[in-house]
Copies of this chain bind each other. A is one copy, B any other.
Amino acid sequence: MCQLFALTSHQPVSPDFSLRGFFQRGGKTGDHSDGWGLALFRDGQLELQTHISAAHSCRRATELLQTKPRATTVVAHIRKATVGDVSPQNSHPFTRTLWGETWAFAHNGDLKDFHPGTSVDYLPKGQTDSELAFCHIFSRLASTFETKPPVHVLAEFLYSLSAEISRHGTFNYLLSNGTLLIAHCSTELYWAHRSFPFGKVELLDLDMSIDLGEFNSEDESMFVVATKPLTRGEAWCPMGRGELRVFEGGRMVHVLPPTPVCNRQPIDWNSAWASHHVVIS
């Protein structure tokens, strides 16, 4: 199995803090050490890199994070190979062109007895069930929509098709063209909203904390998505089985099936503490 990470932001931001924690799971706090990949979208351009080394100890990962690369949309993946060799053509994110745009796709899960047809425009290059699912989805999208449909139509289509594919196994995935970020959950995927007032958060996988308020302005809004929460100090909302969420420019714009808004009302912590003689130390 693998793990997924994504970020979508109103303005370009560096995902290096979150990625530092995420990459620890690529060989240190997790055994997803068979490769890592990162798709960075900025100004409509995709920068993609994939490696077959363990993220946590990979020199290129370290160097990349030190440059604090800025992007409005990020899709990252750390791999634990189950289907397909450890090789570049089996590394996520996979990319394909559709409706004149480049899309990146990363998957967490295993699909069994899954042998769908794909069009000649979307043939897999590697051996993974993940790339095959991506090609199948894009074959179906291309044959159904000549041009990019409105977001809610795209979301409904992907929601139904993903439910079909999920019958073959675990199918958590991230898909993005740099503007839209689509997250589908079949078993496990979390999202967190980072917005004003930003607070201090700590990585769960590394002894490192950051005050997001120092780095973000009042009008910044971003969402992070991950297979498992990355931080303490902020709230993570689990997605349900079969749920699909669409984000656009740091906002959440569509949810299927309809779901209650994640209940994140403010807590009057001072009053909560003060009502007891023991305060937070």
Choose, from A1-9, A67-75, A98-106, A199-207, the stretch at the interface.
A199-207
Identify A260's interface contact among B201, B259, B261, B264, CB under 8 A.
B201
Choose, from A39-47, A130-138, A165-173, A268-276, the stretch at the interface.
A268-276
Identify A202's interface contact among B198, B240, B246, B280, CB under 8 A.
B240
Interface 1/0 per residue, A174-186 and B, CB below 8 Å = 0000000000000
Q: Cβ of A263 and Cβ of B234 under 8 Å apart?
A: yes
A277 neighbours in B (Cβ, 8 Å): 150
A199 neighbours in B (Cβ, 8 Å): 260-261, 263, 265
> What is the total number of residues of chain A having a CB less than 8 Å from a CB of chain B?
56
Interface 1/0 per residue, A244-281 and B, CB below 8 Å = 00101001111110111111111101001101111011
Q: Cβ of A259 and Cβ of B232 under 8 Å apart?
A: yes
Task: Specify the chain B residue showing the minimal Cβ separation from A229.
Answer: B238
**Which of A209, A229, A248 has the most chain B CB within a 10 Å cutoff?**
A229
Tell me the bound Cα distance from A41 to B6 in angstroms.
42
Q: Cβ of A238 and Cβ of B204 under 8 Å apart?
A: yes
How many copies are assembled?
2
Question: Of residues 195 to 236 in A, which have CB atoms within 8 Å of B's CB atoms?
Answer: 195-202, 204, 209, 221, 229, 231-236
Tell me, yes or no, whether A34 is within 8 Å of chain B by CB: no
Tell me, yes or no, whether A243 is within 8 Å of chain B by CB: yes
Binding site for B on A (CB under 8 A): 150-152, 193-202, 204, 209, 221, 229, 231-241, 243, 246, 248, 251-256, 258-267, 269, 272-273, 275-278, 280-281
Q: Which 6 A-B pairs have the closest CB atoms?
A: A235-B235, A233-B260, A199-B263, A200-B260, A229-B238, A234-B263
